[in-house]
Amino acid sequence: MIKDLGGLMKQAQQLQSKMADMQSELEQLEIEGISGGGLVKVRLNGKGAMMGVEIDQSLLKPDEAEIVEDLIVAAHAEARLKMERATADKMKEVTGGLPLPPGLNLGL
């Protein structure tokens, strides 16, 4: 029984190490969300932090502010969804597709 516990602890440590590596990779990842047919682009890192926004000059008119605001929100939503998918894919790589128990904190 103790042998099994030791092996389980070793596996948990290896998983925690892989999770730390994954976090570093995600911080370097850059994901782009696009809306308005390419008129607005938002870049996020793999942790969800916004890294930049690009707005086509054609939208920069005083009476277009509400449209630009909506397009930024839409581009951010797309980038966030892509980031969540990339994170889920990385998590599957690290855990071998095994679901983690709720509340298991591996440093995320």
Q: Which of 38, 45, 54, 35 is nearest to 84 (CA)?
A: 45
Please report the pLDDT score of residue 41 as a whole number.
93
Fold of 2-95: Ybab; Chain: A; (3.30.1310)
User: What token pair was written down for 5?
Assistant: 């516990």
**CA atoms of 31 and 61, how far apart (whole Å):** 27
pLDDT at 30 over 60: yes
Task: Output DSSP code: residue 48.
Answer: S
pTM for the predicted model, two decimal places: 0.60
Start-end of H helices in the chain: 2-28, 65-95
pLDDT digits (tens, 9 = 90+) for 39-67: 999 998 877 888 889 999 988 888 888 88
Task: Determine how β-strand 30-35 pairs with β-strand 50-55.
Answer: unpaired
Secondary structure of 12-24 in the HEC alphabet? HHHHHHHHHHHHH
* Mean pLDDT within 79-93: 85
